[in-house]
């Protein structure tokens, strides 16, 4: 499904009719005109829907995984146009300079910008053809296309020589009977790359420093969604279980904060340990529109944050350095930046927000405060009264109805007003594009495993998955060598009853169910706990029946001790939370609920994706 884009001339659907965007008024309104340009009207941004254009079929759908030449070329083109995607940065001089640095014509740069604005995905930049013209070579368009697709190998850290590049071009052209460009032609194309780019790609970022300006301070974001900080912290409050109202421990929050406006653009609260799941769900929530979420939580205030951000700023925790986040950010054109080690002030904005949030949490019954001195003799467990859902709802209401509307000394206005001003002030930013395929967005930001496909399917954590969608890929080999090809299987750790196979031919995910789906669903952490228990019992070869028998055993054990044991109560609440999420997902997909057989007790220890400790942030005054 195509995104809804608000650049001038974009086609959108409004009330079942096609319209052309003639101008963006502000964050909430755009002016539309019909195809004949005889009628104009104002429309609310969030009431517009994507229009599938006939040209969509011409876009290259398959984006090869790994370090393929096509992916390298697409990433290089995105790097070229990234500073030009904002209207303020797209001057003719800036376009000419980027074209010079990357060895392209200005027309090509403008075409790439248009492709990105139309589709907003890395796939749109995979293939680009040179059309010749004044100042260009006299080679045919097919030969130029080969040259442009092969040139990125010169920018790799393998440090291929110009002769090597010319040799690869020869190998491609010769079998097809195309003219073979001479070495001097290839050399001229390579010399179009700037010295800074060549140094950065071949020798590393440190070698490119000599070509960069060093003004002595870091640029402050000048518009919304330019830089978004993402981090986790544990909440300073004990939550209770729904059934017995007894304490079960503290919850975690992962949050995304827009540095320009201090608006919270997305968050995710969970009893599960922080890791790649919480990170992915938080970023996906930040990109999605919030209208449905606001209705579900009974919040009448507005939360006008949606669309991919330009840059995500994170610390160096393992979950932020995983393949999932890097791959998903690449697809949506998001730059992923890491804080310098040992310099925590680079994440100061989100740390200050966590300090502000902690002040509100400290007013609730069951707070643990920020330290032992503050807590003194306060009985946190005895005073605990909020369930997990009640705490989640409180945080959401406070963020949207209070924090966004409250004066912020750091920006000298409210976060909501500052955010809106970014789309109506002198910069006149266009409203962010609305991602059309929300389900695909969520799956892109799910943790994934890479597996080869065998005749019996694939196995993850001793659970086997199979389906007809896998048949054509059984024992397939990597192109150009004899190694068995690995494929991506995204999965929601809260529900291992199915995984999502990324089909490279269709560039989409396909649900693959567990081969034996007669057993109730279990979480990834529950499976890992059962595996460890069986291994400790001396079981060398674990199979599925043994695994689920152990899971039932552990669930019964937790149910029997829930009233006496806080860890067991916490495990029960986590399973209930997972069950509600699965029910919602299945209702959304096919209109049916989940079997009552899934109302089972969930048990596993608190074990994060990243085994290294995460220290809660100190309470800091809001600027």
Looking at residue 69, its pLDDT comes to 64
Q: Are 161 and 270 within one domain?
A: no
Pair 248, 256: CB distance under 8 Å = no
Nearest to residue 497, comparing CAs of 570, 592, 578?
Answer: 578
- Pick the range with the lowest mean pLDDT from 179-188, 223-232, 410-419, 467-476: 179-188
Give the whole-angstrom CA distance, residue 98 versus residue 75: 15
What pLDDT is attached to residue 494?
A: 82
Q: How much is the pLDDT for 595?
A: 37
Asked, for residue 98, whether it belongs to a domain, the answer is: yes
- 430 in any annotated domain: yes
The reply to whether 156 and 253 lie within a common domain is no
- Residue at 486 is within a domain: no
Q: Which pair of structure tokens corresponds to residue 301?
A: 């205030």
Domain span including residue 188: 64-211
Q: Is residue 622 assigned to a domain?
A: no
pLDDT above 60 (res 507): yes
Q: Which residue has the tokens 């809260």?
A: 494
Six-digit token string for 584? 């919602």
Say which residues have a Cβ less than 8 Å from residue 129's Cβ, sequence separation at least 6. 141, 144, 145, 148
- The residue ranking higher by pLDDT, 424 or 346, is 424
Q: Which of 275, 239, 238 is closest to 254 using CA atoms?
A: 275
* pLDDT at site 567: 67
Of 21-35, 364-378, 418-432, the range with the highest mean pLDDT is 21-35
Separation CA 202–CA 154 (nearest Å): 8
Three-class SS of residue 241?
coil
287 and 177 inside one domain: no
pLDDT bin (cut points 50, 70, 90) of residue 604 is: very low
Give the pLDDT confidence score for residue 462 in this predicted structure: 83
For the CA atoms of the chain, what is the radius of gyration?
A: 27
Handedness of CA 81, 98, 195, 184 (dihedral sign): positive
String of b and e for 370-400 (b: at least 16 CB within 10 Å)? beeeeeeeeebeeebbbbbeebbbebbebbb
The reported pLDDT for the residue numbered 64 is: 44
Query: Residue 369: which CATH number?
Result: 3.30.420.10
Q: Is residue 589 part of a domain?
A: yes
Greater model confidence, 234 or 560: 234
pLDDT digits (tens, 9 = 90+) for 316-344: 777 788 888 888 998 898 988 887 654 54
The pLDDT of 262-291, averaged and rounded, is 91
Quick one: pLDDT band at residue 12, thresholds 50, 70, 90? confident
Q: Determine the Cα–Cα distance for residues 235 and 85; give it in Å rounded to an integer.
A: 37
One DSSP character per residue, 12-31 reads EEETTEEEEEEEE-SSSEEE
Q: What is the pLDDT of residues 75-92, one digit of tens each?
A: 888 888 888 887 667 888
User: What burial letters (b/e) apply to 209-248, b meaning 16+ CB within 10 Å?
Assistant: eeeeeeeeeeeebebbbbbbbbbbbbbbbbbbbeeeeebb
| Residue 436 in domain | yes
Question: Average pLDDT, stretch 452-470?
Answer: 91
Same domain, 278 and 135: no
Print burial letters for 436-469: b (CB count within 10 Å at least 16), e (below 16): bebebbbbbbbbbeebebeeebbebbbbebbbee
Looking at the chain, the whole-number percentage of residues with pLDDT higher than 90 is: 19
Same domain, yes or no: 581 and 546 = yes
Q: Work out whether the CA dihedral 62, 66, 68, 70 comes out positive or negative.
A: positive
Is 337 found in the same domain as 400?
Answer: yes
pLDDT reported for residue 341:
57
Higher pLDDT, 76 or 608: 76
Structure confidence at residue 594 (pLDDT): 32
User: Which pLDDT score, from 0 to 100, does residue 263 have?
Assistant: 95
pLDDT value for 550: 84
The CA-based angle 101-155-109, given to 5 degrees, is 35
Q: How close are the terminal C-alpha atoms of the chain, in Å?
A: 41
pLDDT (tens digit, 9 = 90+) per residue, 359-405? Answer: 888 887 767 666 555 555 565 666 677 788 888 888 999 999 999 99
Rounded-to-integer distance, Cα 326 and Cα 298, Å: 34
Q: Does residue 237 share a domain with residue 179?
A: no
Structure tokens, 335: 């730059």
Work out the widest C-alpha separation in the chain, in whole angstroms: 85
Residues 169 and 236 in one domain: no
pLDDT for residue 569: 66
> Which of 158, 178, 211 delimits the end of a domain?
211
Tally the residues of the chain: 623
Last residue of a domain, one of 150, 181, 211: 211
Question: Over the stretch 164-193, which tens digit does the pLDDT of each residue have?
Answer: 888 888 888 888 888 888 888 888 888 888
What per-residue confidence (pLDDT) applies to 516?
84
On the question of pLDDT at 136 being above 80, the answer is no
pTM: 0.70
pLDDT bucket at 236, cuts 50 / 70 / 90: confident
**Do 419 and 456 fall within a single domain?**
no
How confident is the model at residue 400, as a pLDDT? 94
Task: Provide CB contacts within 8 A for 91, sequence distance 6+.
Answer: none
Which residue is listed with tokens 């890395």?
122
Tell me what percent of the residues of the chain surpass a pLDDT of 70.
Answer: 76
Tokens linked to 311 = 């840059």
Residue 181 exposure: Cα atoms within 13 Å on the Cβ side: 28
Q: Specify whether 429 is located in the same domain as 460.
A: no
If one counts the domains in the chain, the total is 4
186, 211, 236: which is the final residue of a domain? 211
pLDDT mean across residues, the chain? 78
Pick 288 or 129 by higher pLDDT.
288
- How far apart CA 415 and CA 401 sit, in angstroms, is 12
Question: Which of the residue ranges 19-33, 185-199, 348-362, 435-449 would you say has the lowest mean pLDDT?
Answer: 185-199
In this predicted structure, the answer to whether residue 45 has a pLDDT above a threshold of 80 is: yes
Residue 58 lies in a domain: no
- Pairing between strand 311-314 and 335-338? parallel
pLDDT band for 127, please (50, 70, 90 cuts): low
Look at residue 257 and tell me whether its pLDDT is greater than 90: yes
pLDDT digits (tens, 9 = 90+) for 572-602: 666 667 666 655 554 344 433 333 333 333 3
pLDDT value, residue 67: 45
Residues 286 and 382 in one domain: yes
Q: Mean pLDDT over residues 308-314, rounded? A: 91
State the pLDDT confidence band at 428, using cuts at 50, 70 and 90. low
What are the percentages of helix, strand and coil residues in the chain, rounded to 5? 45, 15, 40
Does the pLDDT at position 613 exceed 60?
Answer: no
Residue 200 pLDDT grade (very low, low, confident, very high; cuts 50, 70, 90): confident
Q: Answer whether residue 43 shows pLDDT above 50.
A: yes
> 137-148 burial by CB neighbour count: b if 16+ within 10 A, else e?
eebeeebbbbbb
Whether residue 5 is contained in a domain is answered as no
**68 and 15 inside one domain:** no
């Amino acid at each position: 499904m195509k995104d809804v884009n608000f650049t001038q001339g974009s086609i959108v659907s409004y009330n079942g009719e096609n319209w052309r965007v003639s101008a963006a008024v502000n964050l909430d309104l755009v002016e539309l005109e019909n195809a004949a340009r005889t009628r104009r009207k104002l429309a609310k941004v969030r009431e517009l829907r994507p229009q599938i254009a006939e040209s969509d079929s011409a876009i290259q759908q398959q984006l090869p995984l790994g370090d393929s030449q096509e992916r390298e070329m697409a990433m290089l083109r995105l790097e070229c146009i990234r500073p030009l995607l904002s209207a303020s940065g797209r001057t003719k001089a800036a376009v000419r300079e980027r074209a010079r640095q990357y060895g392209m014509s200005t027309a090509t740069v403008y075409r790439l910008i248009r492709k990105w604005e139309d589709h907003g995905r890395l796939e749109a930049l995979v293939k680009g053809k040179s059309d010749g013209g004044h100042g260009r070579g006299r080679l045919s368009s097919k030969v130029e296309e080969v040259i442009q697709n092969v040139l990125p190998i010169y920018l790799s850290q393998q440090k291929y020589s110009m002769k090597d590049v010319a040799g690869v071009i020869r190998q491609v052209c010769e079998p097809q009977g195309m003219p073979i460009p001479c070495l001097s032609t290839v050399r001229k194309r390579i010399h179009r790359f700037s010295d800074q780019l060549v140094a950065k790609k071949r020798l590393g970022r440190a070698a490119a420093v000599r070509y960069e300006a060093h003004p002595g301070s870091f640029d402050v974001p000048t518009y919304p969604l330019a830089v978004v900080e993402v981090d986790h912290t544990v909440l300073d409050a004990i939550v209770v279980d729904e059934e017995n109202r007894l304490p079960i421990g503290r919850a975690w929050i992962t949050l995304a904060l827009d540095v320009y406006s201090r608006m919270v653009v997305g968050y995710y609260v969970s009893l599960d340990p922080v890791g790649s799941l919480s990170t992915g769900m938080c970023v996906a929530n930040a990109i999605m529109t919030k209208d449905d979420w606001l209705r579900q939580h009974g919040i009448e205030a507005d939360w006008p944050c949606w669309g991919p951000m330009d840059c995500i700023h994170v610390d160096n925790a393992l979950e932020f350095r995983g393949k999932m986040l890097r791959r998903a950010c690449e697809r949506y054109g998001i730059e992923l930046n890491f804080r310098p080690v040992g310099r925590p002030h680079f994440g100061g904005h989100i740390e200050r927000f966590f300090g502000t949030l902690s002040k509100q949490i400290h007013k609730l019954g069951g707070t643990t405060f920020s330290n032992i001195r503050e807590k003194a003799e306060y009985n946190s467990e005895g005073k605990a009264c909020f369930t997990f859902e009640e705490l989640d709802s409180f945080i959401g209401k406070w963020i949207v109805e209070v924090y966004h509307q409250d004066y912020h000394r750091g920006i000298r206005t409210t976060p909501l007003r500052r955010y809106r001003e970014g789309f109506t002030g002198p910069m006149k930013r266009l409203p962010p594009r609305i991602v059309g395929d929300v389900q695909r967005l969520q799956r892109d930001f799910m943790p994934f495993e890479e597996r080869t496909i065998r005749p019996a399917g694939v196995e993850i954590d001793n659970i086997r998955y199979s389906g007809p969608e896998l048949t054509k890929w059984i024992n397939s080999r990597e192109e150009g060598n004899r190694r068995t090809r690995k494929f991506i299987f995204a999965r929601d750790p809260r529900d291992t009853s199915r995984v999502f196979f990324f089909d490279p031919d269709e560039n989409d995910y396909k649900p693959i169910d567990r081969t034996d789906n007669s057993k109730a669903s279990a979480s990834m952490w529950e499976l890992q706990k059962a595996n460890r228990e069986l291994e400790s019992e001396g079981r060398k070869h674990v199979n599925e029946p043994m695994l689920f028998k152990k899971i039932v055993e552990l669930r019964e054990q937790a149910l029997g001790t829930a009233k006496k044991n806080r860890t067991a109560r916490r495990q029960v609440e986590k399973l209930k939370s997972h069950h509600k999420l699965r029910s919602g997902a299945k209702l959304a997909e096919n209109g049916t609920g989940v079997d009552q057989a899934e109302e089972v007790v969930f048990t596993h220890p608190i074990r994060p994706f990243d085994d290294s400790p995460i220290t809660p942030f100190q309470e800091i005054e809001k600027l």
